[in-house]
Structure formats: structure tokens, C-alpha cells
Structure 1
Amino acid sequence: MTQINTLVLCMDTPLKSSELARFRGAVNAVISSHNILFHNHNGQYFRYAYPLIQYKCLAGKAAIVAIGEGVVAMEELFAGTDFSIRLGKRTIALQIESIKAEEVKVSQSIVPIVYQLFDWLPFNEANYEHFVSISRMAERVELLERILTGNILSLFKGLDVFIGFPLHIEIVHYVQKTPVVYKGVKLMRFDVSFMANVLLPNYIGLGRHSSVGAGLLIRKNNNIQY
């Protein structure tokens, strides 16, 4: 397989990034099949592969991004709900603002493609300790590039996409942001600009907690504001 299909469902519903986990739970509450792709666990088992349905905050509004098999699963959302959800103490009637479909053929790009990655959470405990122990900026960038390369390869593996060329990633700029707390754990996050020799889909997530908005990937020529 060398093609990745995505579907971006944007709602006319204001949403804060801090509400994304609740938004995911609210959407799952109205899906009768309890399809594991919508939440990555079914009460007994966890799905540890790359998340194929992801919950985003795009331009301050709620959105759902489906990838690969997740695109087909989205039919259950359209068929199984009147688009009314319970978000905390609020009952919200979701209104679709736009639907964007994209087919990306994964192939080597001769000219590097520039991307921006927002609120990326790259570290587990081991590589976090390694990162803070490094004093030289160039070595820190090299570590981040290795982790980002691994994130992209994990995306390909989760979608059964195989590339026949070496993946080359170059981080050109990064900003370390204030840490975010997820389930009581403080995580270091970054905004990153990088170049890659492969075309990737817009709006997908990379890195930890990508199912709930972290690591939002945007090709730089997009005009949506974040």
C-alpha cells in the first residue's frame, strides 16, 4: 500500500484543547457499536497501534480526523447519532461546518516538503532524561529528529504503508512550550518546523497522545490559523 486516505470533519462547535478528551468520550457515548477505532480501547482491551480516529481542535473548533480504516468507521458516526452530545454539563448539537477528504500517495519527494508540528509530545521517560542531560543544541536537535523519524515510521507501520527509500527528516526550528499535564503526568511539548522527503497527510497527529490533539501536523502552505 502506498496511499493514505484521510477525512477531516470540522464542526461549528467552539472547543478548547483541554476539552478534547471529554469530546472523545462524548462522541463515543453516542456510537452504538462501540467500535474500538473511536477510542482505542473497548473496556477490556487496548489498541496500541497508531490511532486511526483522532480528535482535534482546529481554529478553535471541534474536529475529527479519520485515517485509513478510520475513514470507513466514520460511517457509524453519521448513521448512529443525531449529532447531539453531552460535553461536561453542556448538551451540544454538533453542526458540520466542512468535510475535507484527501488521498495522499506516499512517495519520495525530490524537493523537501516543509511541515509544522504543533504541541508535539515526543518523550517517554528514557528519552526525556537523555534530552535534558544534553547540553549541545545540535545533539538535542539530532535526538528530536530521530524521535520524529520514528513517529513517522510508526504512522506508516500502523497503516501498512511501505516505503522503498530512506526517510530523511531535518528540523529547522523548534520552540519548547510550557509543559502540559496529561492524567497527572507533566509532559514536555514542542512546536516544530521540519522538512521531509515524503508527502504526509494534513491534520494527522504524530507522537504521544495524537488521538486527542497532540502533535498536529500541517503542511506549511495551508492558510488555516492555529
Structure 2
Amino acid sequence: MQQTIHTTAITFPEIQLQTRDAHKLRGYFGNLFREHSPLLHNHLESGQSQYRYPLVQYKVTGKTPMLLGLNEGAELLTSLFLKVQELQLDGLTYPVLSKNIRNQRWKIGVDSDLHHYRYETLWMGLNQDNHQRYMQTEPGQERQEQLKRIAISNILAFYKAFDLLLPKEQRIMLSLQVQEKSTRFKDQHMLAFSGGFTTNALLPDFVGLGKSVARGFGTVCRV
């Protein structure tokens, strides 16, 4: 079973930022266009967080800032593209001298071929519950199996966000190749992972999987 989704990627090639600056992009654009749509900041009108897969994501890959929209988020970014004249981050103003927009359509679902994906930004696959279970497990095969199950569940959660529920006979196969890394998130040290995976699942380039994808974590690209 497969279906098609639409993405819009906006990049600012003349501005260079650090990967950790992605959350600053989210804060800036979420405030700048707050009245346009809650999709930009993933909060309800009450101010509460909206617990759904974010349809607008903020990333820095290869030092280049990027906004990625999916389906309604893609349409929203297309409508706002011409309005972006500058970025204001940490008290600094970056004039937008050039910007690129790319609209694409992607198949998602299980494929008959295998595809290799690389994490362009660190993958935060562990939440509070499974982090404790992971640390209590001996390093080696058992930890890899746990991470593999989490990576598959990340893909299934992504599909579910677009109402794609795979029939039982269509299983996601996945081989994970990752290494432990340490990162700071909300002023705390967090365990994250670099590397990639091989799978029969189809994914659009630059979508995020795992935790904190709106802030740029877990961004994948097909190799």
C-alpha cells in the first residue's frame, strides 16, 4: 500500500547556521507568522502544545537553514515564501538575499526494493521510558534490536500522521547502522544517534523521525 504526499522545502543558501540553531528558526517563524496558522509552531490557540506529527519543520543541514512543509504545511510555506525578507536570531538580523523553494511529490509506504537513508541530523529515538530500558540492557545485539524496533515504530507513526495504515501482510523490514552520540537539548545532556538505516519503507527526503523533529532532529535523506 502506498500513497502520495506533497513537500515544500525553503532554503536560504547564503545564510550559515549551526545545526543546534534549528529551534531558533522555529521560534522566529512561529512568532513572525503566528496569525497565519498553528502549523508553524504546533501550538493550539490556548497556547498548549499540539501533540501531532509537525507538518512544518525547521532544520539546519550542511549549515543551510531549511523550512520543510508537508501537505497543508507545504501549501502554507508556499503562500508565505515571498514574505520572508530577513531572519532575526539571537539579536542578529540576517538579510535574505536569496532563497530557494522546491515543491515535490513523494510516494510513502512499503516498496518492493530496499533503500538506504542517512540521518542528516542526530536521531533522538529514546524517550523517558525506553531510555531507561536501553541503559539497563547490555551493549550489543539486544540494544540494536531495541533501537531497530523504535526506528520501525517511528516510520509507522509518520505514516499514521498521513492516514496510511499498513495491512498486516505488509511489514517494514529495517537494518539499522547507528552510533551513540551526546547532544544538548533544553539544557540537558541527551543520548542521540548518528548513522542510518536500510529499509523497504519509502520516505521523503528531509522529513524528521523520532523525537523533536520540529526542531530538526532525526532528519533523513535517501543515499
The 5 A counterparts of 1:95-134 are 95-117=97-119, 118-134=121-137
Q: How does 1:1-226 map to 2 (within 5 A)?
A: 2-12=3-13, 13-31=15-33, 33-42=35-44, 44-78=47-81, 81-117=83-119, 118-164=121-167, 165-171=170-176, 173-177=177-181, 179-220=182-223
Alignment CA distance shift 1:86-1:143 (3 Å): same
Tell me, yes or no, if the aligned pair for 2:8 and 2:78 is still in contact at 8 Å. no
- The CA distance in 2 between the partners of 1:186 and 1:39, in whole Å, is 24
* Rounded Cα–Cα distance in structure 1 between residues aligned with 2:58 and 2:31: 14
Other-structure match for 1:223? none
Provide Cα deviations, 1:89-144, integer angstroms capped at 9, x if missing partner: 11122244432222112243222111112300011121111111111511111100
Could you tell me how far apart the structure 2 residues matched to 1:161 and 1:96 are? Answer: 36
Letter matched to residue 169 of structure 1: L
1-structure distance, mates of 2:112, 2:86: 46
Paired with 1:37 and 1:194, the residues of 2 have a C-alpha distance of 29
> Which one-letter code corresponds to 1:161 in the other structure?
L
Aligned residues: 217
Q: Give 1:76 shift.
A: 4.3
Question: Percent of counterpart pairs with the same letter?
Answer: 25
In structure 2, stretches of 5+ residues that fail to align are none
Q: Is the 8 A contact 1:2 1:163 kept in 2?
A: no
Ranges of 4+ aligned residues in structure 1 off by more than 4 Å: none
SS of residue matched to 1:99: strand
Asked whether the 8 Å contact 2:108–2:201 carries over to 1, the reply is yes
Residues 214 and 27 (structure 1 numbering): CA distance in 2 closer, same or farther, change over 3 Å?
A: same
TM-score (norm 2): 0.89
CA distance in 1, matches of 2:155, 2:71: 15
Q: Is the 8 A contact 1:5 1:101 kept in 2?
A: yes
Which consecutive residues of structure 1, in runs of 5 or more, have no partner in the other structure?
221-226
Contact 1:53–1:65, Cα closer than 8 Å, also in 2 = yes
Inter-CA distance 32–45: structure 2 relative to 1 (3 Å threshold): closer
Deviations 1:7-32 (A, max 9, x none): 11111211112222112111123215
